[in-house]
Chains A and B, each alone.
Chain A
Amino acid sequence: MKLKYVVGFAVIAACVVVGVYMLKTSMTPYLPFKEAMAANGREVQIIGSIVKGKIGVDAKTGLRRFMLKDQAGTELEVETRENLPSNFEHAKSVVAVGSYKNGVFVASKILAKCPSKYEKKADGASPESRSAQ
């Protein structure tokens, strides 16, 4: 291929990479916690990892509360009426959709990223054992 084509493609590819880099914040819907807290009650999405030992359910109000930590290290308390997904404590990261009100993030939706290791289910259910019953 002619050199001018190679150079041309390389330049265009470089422009695309620079363009995507400039649009970095648009590639993700998740705001850093500091921005979410400054969002003036606007509905936003946040993503973070669960801070261990801080998951609780308030028996009176039925609110579930837990603490998340984002990539910048900021910690944020999240509360929700939604049922937490099964295996919530083992989730690698959690997405919360909602808004920051009165010092706590009130979430209307909770999405949990499951551990990515595909291991056989512990109860050992298998086709052979099922058909033997």
Chain B
Amino acid sequence: MPVLIGTALFLWMAGVMYGAFVYAPPAEGLGETSRLIFLHVPVAWTSVMAFITSFVYSILVLRRNRHEDDIRAEVAARMGLWYCVLATITGAFWAKATWNTYWNWDPREISIVVLLLVYMSYFGLRSAVTDPDKKIRLAAVYAILAAIIMPFLVFVVPRMYMSLHPDTLINNSGKSQLADVRMKQVFFFSLAGFTLLYFWLFNLSVRIERLVRRKEGWNV
């Protein structure tokens, strides 16, 4: 069964790659670089999902004080951070292609750096506390605060300031930014694929983390 799911996901993502680089047409103006939208946006979306997951499990940690919930909270935060890094890197390459500069300290770029710092500090906090029960509670409080700030940094700040970053797909104009039907198809196919991939990777990572912690002497 796990092999089936893994294979199916592999095929789905292969389909996403084909869609992004062959099936979807290049966009007016942006040309071939527009294909990055099929990777950059789903990756950023996955990061948001992961941070929300971390938020939910951190609340559970505070309520139930169970290490099992903390495993999920930490794994989700870690995945969120990695996907956020990926979104930043794909964004930087796209910036080089469209604005001829990898980094310009644009408001969108500033807010993503702040978000990265916020979640990197989560791991700093965890390693600074040695007592396991204190660690999971402190980390949970921090993750909850981080997740409250996150939507503000990801969704609000870029809409408050004039920015080079293209208008977000959800915006005031009321019309879809993806005007071509093939682009719409590939985009949603990719979004779904990355979402499924997230759940599968999360599940795997939680199981690995549980084994790692058992080895380290945690009671899980």
Contacts and interface: CB of A to CB of B under 8 A. Distances in A.
B31 interface: yes
B63 A118 contact: no
Interface string B142-166: 0011001100100001001111111
- Chain A residues touching B, majority SS: mixed
B147 to A, nearest CB: 10
B164 A27 contact: no
Contacts of B23: 127
A44 interface: no
B100 A116 contact: no
A71 interface: yes
B99 interface: yes
Given A29-B105, A112-B99, A114-B98, A119 B180 contact: yes
Contact of B34 (A5, A29, A118): A118
A28 B110 contact: yes
Given A27-B110, A28-B110, A121 B164 contact: no
B138 interface: no
Contacts of B107: 27-29
Contact of A1 (B63, B111, B149, B180): B63
A109 interface: yes
B106 interface: yes
A47 B180 CA distance: 30
Most buried by A among B62, B100, B179: B100
A114 B30 contact: yes
Given A1-B63, A13-B149, A121 B104 contact: no
A132 B175 CA distance: 34
A87 to B, nearest CB: 5
Interface in B7-49: 22-23, 25-31, 34, 37
6 contacts: A1-B63, A9-B148, A27-B107, A113-B165, A114-B98, A116-B167
Given A29-B107, A118-B179, 17 more contacts: A1-B62, A27-B160, A28-B106, A28-B162, A47-B163, A86-B29, A95-B99, A109-B100, A111-B104, A112-B99, A116-B167, A116-B177, A118-B27, A118-B177, A119-B180, A120-B180, A121-B28
Interface of A: 1, 5, 9, 12-13, 16-17, 20, 26-30, 45, 47, 71, 85-87, 90, 92-93, 95, 109, 111-122, 125-127
